[in-house]
Chains A and B, each alone.
Chain A
Protein backbone atom coordinates (compact mmCIF):
# COMPACT_ATOMS: atom_id res chain seq x y z
CA UNK A 1 0.00 0.00 0.00
CA UNK A 2 0.93 3.65 -0.23
CA UNK A 3 2.77 5.49 2.50
CA UNK A 4 4.10 8.76 3.81
CA UNK A 5 6.99 10.36 1.90
CA UNK A 6 7.27 13.52 3.98
CA UNK A 7 5.34 15.70 6.39
CA UNK A 8 5.28 19.22 7.76
CA UNK A 9 3.45 21.13 10.47
CA UNK A 10 2.86 24.81 11.12
CA UNK A 11 1.72 26.42 14.38
CA UNK A 12 1.15 30.19 14.65
CA UNK A 13 3.47 31.98 17.10
CA UNK A 14 0.76 33.51 19.30
CA UNK A 15 -0.49 31.89 22.52
CA UNK A 16 -3.12 32.64 25.11
CA UNK A 17 -3.02 30.99 28.51
CA UNK A 18 -5.98 29.11 29.96
CA UNK A 19 -5.74 31.27 33.08
CA UNK A 20 -6.12 34.46 30.97
CA UNK A 21 -9.37 33.23 29.40
CA UNK A 22 -10.55 32.09 32.85
CA UNK A 23 -9.73 35.53 34.29
CA UNK A 24 -12.14 37.22 31.87
CA UNK A 25 -15.02 34.82 32.51
CA UNK A 26 -14.19 34.45 36.21
CA UNK A 27 -13.84 30.69 35.90
CA UNK A 28 -11.58 28.67 38.17
CA UNK A 29 -8.42 28.37 36.05
CA UNK A 30 -6.87 25.49 37.98
CA UNK A 31 -10.09 23.51 37.76
CA UNK A 32 -10.26 24.04 33.97
CA UNK A 33 -6.57 23.24 33.51
CA UNK A 34 -7.16 20.09 35.52
CA UNK A 35 -10.23 18.96 33.62
CA UNK A 36 -8.94 19.78 30.12
CA UNK A 37 -5.26 18.98 30.81
CA UNK A 38 -4.06 22.09 28.99
CA UNK A 39 -2.44 25.37 29.98
CA UNK A 40 -2.42 27.38 26.75
CA UNK A 41 -3.50 27.35 23.11
CA UNK A 42 -2.24 28.77 19.82
CA UNK A 43 -3.86 31.85 18.28
CA UNK A 44 -3.57 32.84 14.60
CA UNK A 45 -1.90 36.14 13.69
CA UNK A 46 -4.01 38.92 12.16
CA UNK A 47 -2.73 37.87 8.76
CA UNK A 48 -3.00 34.11 9.20
CA UNK A 49 -5.86 31.84 8.17
CA UNK A 50 -6.37 28.25 7.07
CA UNK A 51 -4.83 28.96 3.66
CA UNK A 52 -1.61 30.48 5.05
CA UNK A 53 -1.24 27.72 7.65
CA UNK A 54 -1.87 25.05 5.01
CA UNK A 55 0.69 26.58 2.66
CA UNK A 56 3.41 26.73 5.33
CA UNK A 57 2.76 23.12 6.42
CA UNK A 58 2.58 21.85 2.81
CA UNK A 59 5.82 23.61 1.84
CA UNK A 60 7.57 21.92 4.75
CA UNK A 61 6.08 18.55 3.81
CA UNK A 62 7.14 18.81 0.17
CA UNK A 63 10.66 19.90 1.16
CA UNK A 64 10.91 17.05 3.68
CA UNK A 65 9.73 14.50 1.10
CA UNK A 66 12.34 15.61 -1.45
CA UNK A 67 9.91 15.15 -4.38
CA UNK A 68 9.52 17.39 -7.42
CA UNK A 69 6.26 19.28 -6.70
CA UNK A 70 5.41 19.22 -10.41
CA UNK A 71 4.75 15.48 -10.01
CA UNK A 72 1.99 16.04 -7.41
CA UNK A 73 -1.30 14.82 -8.88
CA UNK A 74 -3.72 15.76 -6.09
CA UNK A 75 -4.00 18.37 -3.34
CA UNK A 76 -6.72 18.00 -0.69
CA UNK A 77 -7.18 20.42 2.19
CA UNK A 78 -9.39 19.42 5.09
CA UNK A 79 -10.69 22.21 7.33
CA UNK A 80 -13.81 23.61 8.95
CA UNK A 81 -12.50 27.18 8.61
CA UNK A 82 -11.74 27.60 4.90
CA UNK A 83 -11.28 31.34 4.19
CA UNK A 84 -13.81 31.29 1.35
CA UNK A 85 -17.24 29.65 1.41
CA UNK A 86 -16.81 29.19 -2.35
CA UNK A 87 -13.27 29.13 -3.78
CA UNK A 88 -10.96 26.33 -2.79
CA UNK A 89 -8.13 26.63 -0.31
CA UNK A 90 -6.55 23.68 -2.14
CA UNK A 91 -5.89 25.70 -5.31
CA UNK A 92 -4.10 28.37 -3.27
CA UNK A 93 -1.96 25.65 -1.67
CA UNK A 94 -1.23 23.99 -5.04
CA UNK A 95 -0.09 27.32 -6.52
CA UNK A 96 2.05 28.14 -3.47
CA UNK A 97 3.85 24.78 -3.52
CA UNK A 98 4.30 25.10 -7.30
CA UNK A 99 2.53 21.86 -8.06
CA UNK A 100 1.65 23.03 -11.58
CA UNK A 101 -1.77 22.63 -13.17
CA UNK A 102 -1.82 18.92 -14.06
CA UNK A 103 -3.59 17.90 -10.86
CA UNK A 104 -6.90 17.51 -9.11
CA UNK A 105 -7.68 19.53 -5.98
CA UNK A 106 -10.55 19.94 -3.55
CA UNK A 107 -11.44 21.20 -0.10
CA UNK A 108 -12.89 18.83 2.45
CA UNK A 109 -14.90 19.41 5.62
CA UNK A 110 -15.59 16.81 8.31
CA UNK A 111 -15.15 18.76 11.57
CA UNK A 112 -11.88 17.54 13.13
CA UNK A 113 -11.20 14.59 10.81
CA UNK A 114 -11.09 16.19 7.35
CA UNK A 115 -7.27 15.93 7.41
CA UNK A 116 -7.26 12.14 7.75
CA UNK A 117 -10.03 11.94 5.13
CA UNK A 118 -7.65 13.84 2.81
CA UNK A 119 -4.94 11.24 3.47
CA UNK A 120 -7.35 8.41 2.61
CA UNK A 121 -8.37 10.11 -0.64
CA UNK A 122 -4.75 10.67 -1.65
CA UNK A 123 -3.97 7.03 -0.79
CA UNK A 124 -6.79 5.82 -3.05
CA UNK A 125 -5.51 7.77 -6.04
CA UNK A 126 -1.90 6.70 -5.43
CA UNK A 127 -2.74 3.03 -4.91
CA UNK A 128 -4.94 2.94 -8.00
CA UNK A 129 -2.11 4.36 -10.09
CA UNK A 130 -4.08 7.47 -11.07
CA UNK A 131 -1.46 9.79 -9.55
CA UNK A 132 2.18 9.51 -8.46
CA UNK A 133 2.06 11.79 -5.42
CA UNK A 134 -0.75 13.34 -3.41
CA UNK A 135 -0.66 16.08 -0.76
CA UNK A 136 -3.11 15.86 2.14
CA UNK A 137 -3.51 18.81 4.50
CA UNK A 138 -5.49 19.21 7.70
CA UNK A 139 -5.57 22.77 8.97
CA UNK A 140 -7.82 25.08 10.97
CA UNK A 141 -8.25 28.39 12.73
CA UNK A 142 -11.04 26.98 14.83
CA UNK A 143 -13.68 29.09 16.55
CA UNK A 144 -15.00 28.96 20.08
CA UNK A 145 -17.94 31.08 21.21
CA UNK A 146 -16.74 33.62 23.82
CA UNK A 147 -17.49 32.22 27.27
CA UNK A 148 -18.14 28.70 25.95
CA UNK A 149 -16.03 25.75 27.14
CA UNK A 150 -14.72 25.36 23.59
CA UNK A 151 -12.99 28.73 23.84
CA UNK A 152 -10.34 27.16 26.07
CA UNK A 153 -9.33 24.61 23.44
CA UNK A 154 -10.19 25.85 19.89
CA UNK A 155 -6.81 26.81 18.41
CA UNK A 156 -4.93 27.17 15.12
CA UNK A 157 -2.41 25.01 13.27
CA UNK A 158 -2.03 22.46 10.54
CA UNK A 159 -0.23 19.41 9.26
CA UNK A 160 0.51 18.19 5.73
CA UNK A 161 1.53 14.79 4.40
CA UNK A 162 2.95 13.78 1.03
CA UNK A 163 1.57 10.39 -0.01
CA UNK A 164 3.23 8.10 -2.57
CA UNK A 165 4.21 4.47 -2.94
CA UNK A 166 7.77 4.16 -4.32
CA UNK A 167 9.50 1.96 -1.75
CA UNK A 168 12.76 3.93 -1.79
CA UNK A 169 10.86 7.15 -0.94
CA UNK A 170 8.38 5.95 1.70
CA UNK A 171 9.35 6.85 5.29
CA UNK A 172 6.27 5.18 6.83
CA UNK A 173 4.08 2.63 5.10
CA UNK A 174 0.34 2.80 5.71
CA UNK A 175 -0.51 -0.88 6.26
CA UNK A 176 -4.26 -0.49 6.56
CA UNK A 177 -6.95 2.13 7.04
CA UNK A 178 -10.60 1.71 8.06
CA UNK A 179 -13.37 4.15 8.98
CA UNK A 180 -16.43 4.15 11.23
CA UNK A 181 -19.11 6.70 10.34
CA UNK A 182 -22.59 7.58 11.61
CA UNK A 183 -25.09 10.45 11.57
CA UNK A 184 -24.45 11.84 15.06
CA UNK A 185 -25.35 15.50 15.76
CA UNK A 186 -22.76 16.26 18.46
CA UNK A 187 -21.27 19.48 16.99
CA UNK A 188 -22.22 21.70 14.06
CA UNK A 189 -22.01 25.16 12.55
CA UNK A 190 -24.70 26.44 10.18
CA UNK A 191 -23.90 28.41 7.02
CA UNK A 192 -23.09 32.02 7.98
CA UNK A 193 -22.88 31.32 11.72
CA UNK A 194 -19.78 32.72 13.40
CA UNK A 195 -19.45 30.01 16.02
CA UNK A 196 -20.21 26.30 16.26
CA UNK A 197 -22.78 24.78 18.59
CA UNK A 198 -22.38 21.48 20.37
CA UNK A 199 -24.26 18.94 22.42
CA UNK A 200 -22.28 19.42 25.63
CA UNK A 201 -21.77 16.05 27.31
CA UNK A 202 -23.24 14.36 24.22
CA UNK A 203 -19.87 15.00 22.53
CA UNK A 204 -18.39 12.31 24.83
CA UNK A 205 -19.72 8.75 24.94
CA UNK A 206 -22.03 8.58 21.88
CA UNK A 207 -19.64 10.61 19.76
CA UNK A 208 -15.90 10.73 20.50
CA UNK A 209 -15.60 7.48 22.47
CA UNK A 210 -18.01 5.41 20.37
CA UNK A 211 -16.45 6.30 17.01
CA UNK A 212 -12.82 6.08 18.08
CA UNK A 213 -13.38 2.78 19.90
CA UNK A 214 -15.21 1.22 16.95
CA UNK A 215 -12.75 2.39 14.29
CA UNK A 216 -9.75 1.29 16.35
CA UNK A 217 -11.27 -2.11 17.14
CA UNK A 218 -12.09 -2.59 13.45
CA UNK A 219 -8.48 -1.77 12.55
CA UNK A 220 -7.04 -4.15 15.15
CA UNK A 221 -9.34 -6.92 13.88
CA UNK A 222 -8.51 -6.23 10.23
CA UNK A 223 -4.76 -6.32 10.85
CA UNK A 224 -4.80 -9.12 13.42
CA UNK A 225 -2.95 -6.93 15.90
CA UNK A 226 -3.34 -5.96 19.55
CA UNK A 227 -2.44 -2.69 21.29
CA UNK A 228 0.90 -4.23 22.36
CA UNK A 229 2.01 -4.44 18.71
CA UNK A 230 2.18 -0.64 18.44
CA UNK A 231 5.02 1.54 19.70
CA UNK A 232 2.80 4.62 19.60
CA UNK A 233 -0.90 5.46 19.43
CA UNK A 234 -2.39 8.81 18.41
CA UNK A 235 -6.04 9.50 19.12
CA UNK A 236 -7.89 12.70 18.25
CA UNK A 237 -7.29 15.27 20.97
CA UNK A 238 -10.15 17.71 21.60
CA UNK A 239 -8.49 18.24 24.99
CA UNK A 240 -5.69 16.56 26.91
CA UNK A 241 -8.01 14.22 28.79
CA UNK A 242 -10.13 12.33 26.21
CA UNK A 243 -7.26 10.63 24.33
CA UNK A 244 -5.83 9.19 27.55
CA UNK A 245 -9.27 7.95 28.57
CA UNK A 246 -10.04 6.28 25.22
CA UNK A 247 -6.52 4.77 25.15
CA UNK A 248 -7.08 3.18 28.55
CA UNK A 249 -10.49 1.91 27.48
CA UNK A 250 -8.92 0.24 24.41
CA UNK A 251 -5.95 -1.26 26.27
CA UNK A 252 -3.22 1.19 25.22
CA UNK A 253 -0.82 2.58 27.82
CA UNK A 254 -0.14 6.22 28.62
CA UNK A 255 3.46 5.71 27.40
CA UNK A 256 2.15 4.83 23.93
CA UNK A 257 -0.01 7.96 23.79
CA UNK A 258 2.04 10.71 25.49
CA UNK A 259 4.57 11.37 22.64
CA UNK A 260 1.75 12.22 20.21
CA UNK A 261 -0.34 14.19 22.70
CA UNK A 262 0.08 17.78 21.51
CA UNK A 263 -3.19 19.46 22.51
CA UNK A 264 -1.97 20.23 26.06
CA UNK A 265 0.72 22.41 24.42
CA UNK A 266 -1.21 24.18 21.64
CA UNK A 267 -4.92 23.38 21.99
CA UNK A 268 -7.19 21.55 19.56
CA UNK A 269 -6.22 22.41 15.99
CA UNK A 270 -9.29 20.51 14.71
CA UNK A 271 -8.47 19.15 11.22
CA UNK A 272 -4.76 19.56 11.99
CA UNK A 273 -4.96 17.74 15.29
CA UNK A 274 -4.43 14.05 14.44
CA UNK A 275 -1.92 14.96 11.72
CA UNK A 276 0.21 17.02 14.10
CA UNK A 277 0.02 14.21 16.67
CA UNK A 278 1.21 11.71 14.05
CA UNK A 279 3.99 14.07 12.98
CA UNK A 280 5.21 14.39 16.58
CA UNK A 281 5.45 10.60 16.80
CA UNK A 282 7.22 10.29 13.43
CA UNK A 283 9.75 12.87 14.70
CA UNK A 284 11.04 10.30 17.20
CA UNK A 285 10.02 6.94 15.70
CA UNK A 286 12.57 4.30 14.71
CA UNK A 287 12.49 2.04 11.66
CA UNK A 288 10.18 -0.89 12.32
CA UNK A 289 8.01 0.97 14.84
CA UNK A 290 4.28 0.54 14.32
CA UNK A 291 1.99 3.52 14.91
CA UNK A 292 -1.79 3.51 15.33
CA UNK A 293 -3.69 6.70 14.51
CA UNK A 294 -7.43 7.19 14.98
CA UNK A 295 -8.97 10.56 14.22
CA UNK A 296 -12.44 11.77 15.14
CA UNK A 297 -14.66 14.28 13.42
CA UNK A 298 -17.98 15.40 14.81
CA UNK A 299 -21.01 14.62 12.79
CA UNK A 300 -19.49 11.95 13.14
CA UNK A 301 -16.74 9.59 12.11
CA UNK A 302 -13.30 8.15 12.79
CA UNK A 303 -10.52 7.10 10.42
CA UNK A 304 -8.03 4.61 11.82
CA UNK A 305 -4.59 3.85 10.36
CA UNK A 306 -1.91 1.22 11.03
CA UNK A 307 1.47 2.63 10.01
CA UNK A 308 4.96 1.07 9.98
CA UNK A 309 8.09 3.24 9.90
CA UNK A 310 10.76 2.35 7.28
CA UNK A 311 14.55 2.90 7.41
CA UNK A 312 14.15 5.84 4.96
CA UNK A 313 12.95 8.00 7.86
CA UNK A 314 16.49 8.48 9.18
CA UNK A 315 18.04 9.92 6.00
CA UNK A 316 15.26 12.50 5.55
CA UNK A 317 15.42 13.88 9.11
CA UNK A 318 17.94 16.57 8.17
CA UNK A 319 15.24 18.18 6.00
CA UNK A 320 12.68 18.13 8.81
CA UNK A 321 11.15 20.92 10.92
CA UNK A 322 10.21 18.99 14.06
CA UNK A 323 6.88 19.53 15.80
CA UNK A 324 8.67 20.66 18.98
CA UNK A 325 10.53 23.34 16.97
CA UNK A 326 7.34 24.42 15.19
CA UNK A 327 5.63 24.80 18.59
CA UNK A 328 8.38 26.59 20.45
CA UNK A 329 9.76 29.05 17.87
CA UNK A 330 9.14 32.74 18.62
CA UNK A 331 6.22 32.19 21.02
CA UNK A 332 4.33 35.45 21.74
CA UNK A 333 1.74 35.55 24.53
CA UNK A 334 -1.36 37.72 24.08
CA UNK A 335 -3.97 38.85 26.58
CA UNK A 336 -7.69 38.38 26.01
CA UNK A 337 -8.16 41.80 24.34
CA UNK A 338 -5.40 41.09 21.82
CA UNK A 339 -6.85 37.59 21.34
CA UNK A 340 -10.20 39.14 20.35
CA UNK A 341 -8.38 41.45 17.92
CA UNK A 342 -6.53 38.51 16.39
CA UNK A 343 -9.84 36.70 15.95
CA UNK A 344 -11.37 39.80 14.29
CA UNK A 345 -13.95 39.90 17.09
CA UNK A 346 -13.21 43.58 17.74
CA UNK A 347 -12.47 46.14 15.04
CA UNK A 348 -11.46 49.77 14.78
CA UNK A 349 -14.23 52.35 14.50
Chain B
Protein backbone atom coordinates (compact mmCIF):
# COMPACT_ATOMS: atom_id res chain seq x y z
CA UNK B 1 0.00 0.00 0.00
CA UNK B 2 1.34 3.44 -0.89
CA UNK B 3 2.04 5.81 2.01
CA UNK B 4 2.51 9.52 1.64
CA UNK B 5 6.08 10.48 0.83
CA UNK B 6 5.89 13.42 3.25
CA UNK B 7 4.74 11.23 6.11
CA UNK B 8 7.54 8.77 5.42
CA UNK B 9 10.08 11.60 5.38
CA UNK B 10 8.78 13.23 8.58
CA UNK B 11 9.01 10.05 10.62
CA UNK B 12 12.45 8.89 9.44
CA UNK B 13 14.36 9.82 12.58
CA UNK B 14 11.76 8.18 14.85
CA UNK B 15 11.61 5.02 12.70
CA UNK B 16 15.35 4.67 12.16
CA UNK B 17 16.66 5.66 15.56
CA UNK B 18 13.80 5.04 17.97
CA UNK B 19 13.64 8.74 18.78
CA UNK B 20 10.66 9.87 20.89
CA UNK B 21 10.03 12.72 23.29
CA UNK B 22 10.28 13.39 27.02
CA UNK B 23 8.27 15.77 29.19
CA UNK B 24 10.62 18.37 30.73
CA UNK B 25 8.37 18.59 33.80
CA UNK B 26 7.54 15.02 34.90
CA UNK B 27 10.28 13.31 32.78
CA UNK B 28 7.81 10.80 31.31
CA UNK B 29 9.16 9.47 27.99
CA UNK B 30 6.92 8.72 25.02
CA UNK B 31 7.16 6.82 21.77
CA UNK B 32 5.96 7.63 19.17
CA UNK B 33 6.58 11.36 19.64
CA UNK B 34 3.62 13.45 20.82
CA UNK B 35 3.03 17.18 21.27
CA UNK B 36 1.51 17.21 24.77
CA UNK B 37 2.37 15.26 27.95
CA UNK B 38 -0.48 12.93 28.96
CA UNK B 39 0.17 13.72 32.63
CA UNK B 40 1.08 17.41 32.63
CA UNK B 41 -1.11 18.65 29.78
CA UNK B 42 -0.19 21.88 28.01
CA UNK B 43 1.83 23.47 30.80
CA UNK B 44 5.07 21.75 29.94
CA UNK B 45 7.48 21.33 27.07
CA UNK B 46 8.38 18.12 25.23
CA UNK B 47 11.97 17.57 24.11
CA UNK B 48 13.43 14.97 21.76
CA UNK B 49 14.67 11.81 23.40
CA UNK B 50 16.59 8.96 21.79
CA UNK B 51 15.89 5.60 23.38
CA UNK B 52 18.66 3.07 23.91
CA UNK B 53 16.77 0.35 22.05
CA UNK B 54 17.18 -2.02 24.98
CA UNK B 55 14.14 -3.48 26.67
CA UNK B 56 12.18 -6.65 27.46
CA UNK B 57 9.25 -8.41 25.80
CA UNK B 58 6.03 -7.34 27.54
CA UNK B 59 3.78 -9.39 25.26
CA UNK B 60 3.86 -10.87 21.77
CA UNK B 61 1.71 -12.54 19.12
CA UNK B 62 2.39 -14.55 15.99
CA UNK B 63 0.82 -13.23 12.77
CA UNK B 64 -0.27 -15.85 10.24
CA UNK B 65 -2.82 -13.77 8.30
CA UNK B 66 -0.97 -10.56 7.54
CA UNK B 67 -2.00 -7.22 6.11
CA UNK B 68 -1.22 -6.77 2.42
CA UNK B 69 2.29 -5.28 2.81
CA UNK B 70 3.55 -8.20 4.91
CA UNK B 71 2.33 -11.12 2.79
CA UNK B 72 5.84 -12.29 1.95
CA UNK B 73 7.02 -11.96 5.54
CA UNK B 74 4.25 -14.00 7.27
CA UNK B 75 4.33 -15.78 9.58
CA UNK B 76 6.11 -13.26 11.80
CA UNK B 77 6.03 -12.10 15.40
CA UNK B 78 4.91 -8.70 16.66
CA UNK B 79 5.78 -7.79 20.24
CA UNK B 80 5.16 -5.05 22.75
CA UNK B 81 8.49 -4.05 24.23
CA UNK B 82 8.95 -2.35 27.58
CA UNK B 83 11.89 -0.05 26.85
CA UNK B 84 14.36 0.45 29.70
CA UNK B 85 13.41 4.14 29.69
CA UNK B 86 9.77 3.23 30.43
CA UNK B 87 7.51 3.41 27.35
CA UNK B 88 5.80 0.43 25.76
CA UNK B 89 6.62 0.22 22.05
CA UNK B 90 5.21 -2.08 19.40
CA UNK B 91 7.67 -3.68 17.04
CA UNK B 92 8.39 -6.68 14.87
CA UNK B 93 10.73 -9.34 16.22
CA UNK B 94 13.40 -10.54 13.80
CA UNK B 95 13.63 -14.29 13.32
CA UNK B 96 15.97 -16.21 15.55
CA UNK B 97 15.46 -17.12 19.18
CA UNK B 98 12.02 -18.21 20.40
CA UNK B 99 10.20 -15.27 22.04
CA UNK B 100 9.34 -15.36 25.74
CA UNK B 101 7.78 -12.72 27.93
CA UNK B 102 10.57 -11.01 29.83
CA UNK B 103 13.27 -11.83 27.28
CA UNK B 104 15.82 -9.05 26.66
CA UNK B 105 15.83 -7.39 23.26
CA UNK B 106 17.76 -4.75 21.37
CA UNK B 107 16.62 -2.57 18.48
CA UNK B 108 18.01 -3.34 15.03
CA UNK B 109 17.61 -1.63 11.64
CA UNK B 110 15.59 -3.56 9.07
CA UNK B 111 13.46 -3.29 5.97
CA UNK B 112 9.79 -3.11 7.07
CA UNK B 113 7.95 -3.30 3.75
CA UNK B 114 8.22 -2.15 0.17
CA UNK B 115 5.65 -0.42 -2.00
CA UNK B 116 5.63 -2.95 -4.83
CA UNK B 117 8.63 -3.20 -7.15
CA UNK B 118 8.82 0.52 -8.00
CA UNK B 119 7.74 2.32 -4.82
CA UNK B 120 9.57 3.37 -1.69
CA UNK B 121 11.35 0.94 0.59
CA UNK B 122 10.37 1.57 4.20
CA UNK B 123 13.07 1.01 6.82
CA UNK B 124 12.22 0.74 10.49
CA UNK B 125 13.52 -0.47 13.81
CA UNK B 126 12.71 -4.04 14.76
CA UNK B 127 13.74 -5.94 17.86
CA UNK B 128 16.18 -8.84 18.18
CA UNK B 129 16.19 -11.16 21.19
CA UNK B 130 19.65 -11.05 22.79
Contact = CB atoms under 8 A, between A and B. Distances in A.
Given A98-B17, A347-B72, A332 B95 contact: yes
Contact of B110 (A47, A59, A348): A47
Interface residues of A, number: 22
Interface stretch (A27-35, A49-57, A243-251): A49-57
A55 B17 CA distance: 11
Given A52-B110, A55-B109, A96-B109, A47 B13 contact: no
A335 to B, nearest CB: 15
Interface string B93-130: 01111000000000011111000000001010010000
B96 A47 contact: no
Contacts of B121: 49, 51, 83-84
Interface in B78-103: 94-97
A132 B121 CA distance: 31
B17 A47 contact: no
A68 interface: no
Contacts of B97: 330
Given A92-B123, A95-B13, A98-B17, A330 B96 contact: yes
Interface string B2-25: 000000000011001100000000
A51 B110 CA distance: 8
A48 B121 CA distance: 11
Contacts of B126: 47
Contact of B123 (A13, A51, A98): A51
A325 to B, nearest CB: 12
A83 B113 CA distance: 13
A182 interface: no
B17 A348 contact: no
B73 A56 contact: no
Interface in A70-103: 83-84, 92, 95-96, 98
Contacts of A83: 111, 121
A92 B12 CA distance: 9
Contacts, number: 54
B128 to A, nearest CB: 8
Contact of B73 (A13, A46, A49, A96): A46
Contacts of B111: 47-49, 51-52, 83
A49 to B, nearest CB: 6
A47 B97 CA distance: 16
Interface string A272-295: 000000000000000000000000
A344 B95 CA distance: 17
Given A95-B13, A347-B72, A45 B109 contact: no
Interface in A1-58: 13, 45-49, 51-52, 55-56
B71 interface: yes
A96 B16 contact: yes
Given A56-B108, A348-B72, A45 B94 contact: yes
Contact of A13 (B12, B72, B96, B112): B96
B51 to A, nearest CB: 13
Given A95-B16, A332-B95, A52 B123 contact: yes
Contacts of A344: 72
Nearest to B108: A56
A61 to B, nearest CB: 14
Residue of B17, B50, B126 with most chain A CB atoms under a 10 A cut-off: B17
B122 to A, nearest CB: 11
26 contacts: A13-B96, A45-B95, A46-B72, A47-B94, A47-B111, A49-B111, A51-B111, A51-B123, A52-B123, A55-B109, A55-B123, A59-B109, A83-B111, A83-B121, A92-B123, A95-B12, A95-B16, A95-B17, A96-B16, A96-B123, A98-B17, A330-B96, A332-B96, A347-B72, A348-B71, A348-B72
Please list the 9 inter-chain residue pairs (A to B) with the smallest Cβ-Cβ separation, ordered nearest first: A47-B110, A55-B109, A47-B111, A96-B16, A330-B96, A52-B109, A52-B110, A83-B121, A95-B12
Interface of B: 12-13, 16-17, 50, 71-73, 94-97, 108-112, 121, 123, 126
Interface of A: 13, 45-49, 51-52, 55-56, 59, 83-84, 92, 95-96, 98, 330, 332, 344, 347-348
Given A45-B110, A46-B72, A51-B111, 15 more contacts: A45-B94, A47-B94, A47-B111, A47-B112, A48-B110, A49-B121, A51-B121, A51-B123, A52-B109, A95-B16, A95-B17, A96-B17, A96-B109, A332-B95, A347-B72
